[in-house]
Amino acid sequence: MSAGPIVLRETGTVRAPLVETLHQWVTTVDHKRLGILYIVYALIFLILGGIEATIMRIQLIRPLNDFVSPQVFNRMFTMHGTTMIFFVAMPLVFGFGNYLVPLMIGARDMAFPRLNAFSFWMTAFGGLLLYFSFIGGDGLYGAGNAPDVGWFAYAPLTSQTFSPGHSTDFWTLALLVSGFGSIGTAINLATTIVCMRCPGMTLGKMPLLAWMNLVMSGLVILAVSPLSAAQIMLMVDRYLGGHFFDTQAGGSAVLWMHFFWVFGHPEVYVLVIPAFAFASEIIPVFSRKAIFGYPVMVAATVGIGFISMSVWAHHMFAVGMTSNSNTFFVLSTMAIAVPTGIKIFNWLGTMWGGKILFKVPMLFCIAFLFQFLIAGLTGIMQGAAPFDWQLTASYFVVAHFHYVIVGGILFTIFAAFYYWFPKASGRMYSESLGRLHFWLFVIGFHLTFDFMHVPGVLGMPRRIYTYEPGRGWDIWNVIITIGAFFQAAGILVFLYNLLWSYFHGEIAGSDPWDAWTLEWTTTSPPPGYNFATVPEVQSRRPLWDLKHPEDPDWKYE
């Protein structure tokens, strides 16, 4: 905890000079500061990735548009995908994990604070490396600057022959570097959760958020490592003249697909399990009921973790695998819907009969429930191999995974932002701006991604930079682009809300939501040491026990 001053604002001492403050932030090893750094960093990249998405949507608003060239369009979708997954979603998840896990399990910091800082800076420089390609990707060839091989970078597009210059190298290195950062953070989170819980907090009394972060860390360890290995192989191919993915020397392009999706599919669950975690913390508090079916929830999470390691090839039905392997991956894909469905019923069971408070975090969670259900249903549709053969690489797929990542993951992340903003900043956000953000974003989301299914079914392939008029796609693309602008407006309102509330929001107090987990026992923002005395817990809702000594939870668990 060498992280410098402990809440200057509260003690009323003179503010440290700017250079000193910056120095403290750069050299910090405090889990809360690193969490905030992760989140701010992700927000910056969210804007970049959003700009790229908007450029694509402007290009596609009408047929035969020439807003950007085909080359630029390729770079935009590659950078958009890579940025949003690796430098927005992952850092957001890790940021919240970093900030919340030690607070929720009553620890004073992560298990390895310096590893934590190291991991953050690895991720941060990975992102910078990726974006440096806009300047340095040309190499000597004058060929394309930013990576343009698609976010899953199928071989042989990535070979020297088809990607001269350095753009693909930037992509590879950025992912390798940030991947090591992710593995570091995952090791750290897992160790923290296993070893640093406060007295009395057995595994069965741990908040669901901690449980889900534990499973997520396990998935990161098992999923990101294969990606790193595959990136090393790609570098061997590109720099040392190896033949891993070189079909002309007997190498296999399909092997890259397997390696990528062995990472790629668990990655979805790496992102969505923390989203589940936010929903599992927020929905009970705003329904004024304890979570329904805690043990089943844990079991379902662990089940998802296991099954998610064996579904990767459902991304590859169109490649031409044997019918046995197709069948296996269809079945495992269907199987993963079961624990996910259990979770949705548990959240509904939590809300059932509760006194629901429709605050902004809860609004986002409710929207999440609906949208995630639909995302899951289209997922099952495509999980059936014959249906996938029809729709693969069409806009239907794009609509499906954006439904998962935006409608499911991003919505709960917004909920988490509003829910924990008072804790991190000490001030309340503006409820009316929050609602404005919610409605703008819900409308924009549904305009864009509901209607994106239609051109997909009508046969519009993904990644095309333009299309002929009169195929029945035109009006849908107009609607999709209009929706994108609504979403962009929502994001701007959201960012403005964060900034405005940070300076002018009402003082929140330590427990504005009358919540039950340990992070609300300490001040907002929490001091550098988190808890003056290490708390001791007896149930899953320690703060409820404190507030209601006459009717404590531990009598019933």
C-alpha–C-alpha distance, residues 303 and 282, integer Å: 22
* Stretch in the footprint of another protein (CB under 8 A) among 214-222, 293-301, 310-318, 468-476: 214-222
The tokens for 493 are 């309102």
Residues near 220 by beta carbon (within 8 Å), at least 6 away in sequence: 182, 183, 185, 186, 270
In contact, 170 and 137? CB cutoff 8 Å: yes
CB-count burial class (<10 Å; 0-12, 13-18, 19+) for 12: exposed
User: Looking at this protein, which amino acid is placed at residue 65?
Assistant: N
C-alpha–C-alpha distance, residues 136 and 165, integer Å: 10
Q: Is 116 in the site for another protein (CB under 8 A)?
A: no
Nearer to another protein, 2 or 247 (CB): 247
406-445 positions binding another protein, by CB under 8 A: none
Q: Is 226 in the site for another protein (CB under 8 A)?
A: yes
Nearer to another protein, 230 or 298 (CB): 230
Nearer to another protein, 241 or 353 (CB): 241
**Chosen residue from 1, 143, 222, 374 binding another protein by CB under 8 A:** 222
In contact, 153 and 85? CB cutoff 8 Å: no
Task: Report which DSSP code applies to 394.
Answer: B
Considering Cα of 484, then 489, then 493, then 495, what sign does the dihedral take? positive
C-alpha–C-alpha distance, residues 197 and 104, integer Å: 9
Smallest distance from another protein to CB 118, Å? 13
* Stretch in the footprint of another protein (CB under 8 A) among 142-150, 160-168, 222-230, 369-377: 222-230
C-alpha–C-alpha distance, residues 75 and 89, integer Å: 20
**Chosen residue from 153, 233, 405, 452 binding another protein by CB under 8 A:** 233
Smallest distance from another protein to CB 466, Å? 38
Nearer to another protein, 217 or 412 (CB): 217
* Stretch in the footprint of another protein (CB under 8 A) among 71-79, 182-190, 280-288, 381-389: 182-190
Smallest distance from another protein to CB 217, Å? 8
C-alpha–C-alpha distance, residues 204 and 347, integer Å: 19
Tell me the chain's radius of gyration from C-alpha atoms.
23
C-alpha–C-alpha distance, residues 168 and 143, integer Å: 11
**Chosen residue from 21, 24, 191, 466 binding another protein by CB under 8 A:** 191
C-alpha–C-alpha distance, residues 18 and 424, integer Å: 20
The tokens for 66 are 């020439």
**Chosen residue from 232, 299, 457, 464 binding another protein by CB under 8 A:** 232
The tokens for 335 are 């199987």
327-386 positions binding another protein, by CB under 8 A: none
Q: Is 196 in the site for another protein (CB under 8 A)?
A: no
Number of alpha carbons in the 13 Å side-chain half-sphere of residue 344: 19
For the chain, give percent helix, strand, coil, nearest 5.
70, 0, 30
Nearer to another protein, 243 or 462 (CB): 243
**Chosen residue from 92, 103, 216, 230 binding another protein by CB under 8 A:** 230
**Chosen residue from 29, 42, 79, 190 binding another protein by CB under 8 A:** 190
C-alpha–C-alpha distance, residues 93 and 426, integer Å: 21
Nearer to another protein, 22 or 249 (CB): 249
CB-count burial class (<10 Å; 0-12, 13-18, 19+) for 432: exposed
User: Looking at this protein, which amino acid is placed at residue 86?
Assistant: F
Nearer to another protein, 170 or 259 (CB): 259
Q: Is 217 in the site for another protein (CB under 8 A)?
A: yes
* Total residues binding another protein (CB under 8 A): 32
In this structure, how many other beta carbons lie within 10 angstroms of the beta carbon of residue 404?
21
C-alpha–C-alpha distance, residues 500 and 161, integer Å: 51
Q: Is 538 in the site for another protein (CB under 8 A)?
A: no
Smallest distance from another protein to CB 159, Å? 13
* Stretch in the footprint of another protein (CB under 8 A) among 234-242, 286-294, 507-515, 546-554: 234-242
Binding mask 243-282 for another protein (x = CB under 8 A): xx----xxxx--x---x--x--------------------
Smallest distance from another protein to CB 160, Å? 12
C-alpha–C-alpha distance, residues 162 and 365, integer Å: 44
Nearer to another protein, 190 or 543 (CB): 190
Q: Is 241 in the site for another protein (CB under 8 A)?
A: yes
* Stretch in the footprint of another protein (CB under 8 A) among 101-109, 141-149, 226-234, 467-475: 226-234
- Element of type H or E holding 478: helix 474-504
* Stretch in the footprint of another protein (CB under 8 A) among 27-35, 216-224, 350-358, 360-368: 216-224
Nearer to another protein, 234 or 447 (CB): 234
Which residues of this chain interact with another protein, rule CB under 8 A? 183, 186-187, 190-191, 217-218, 221-226, 228-230, 232-233, 236-237, 240-244, 249-252, 255, 259, 262
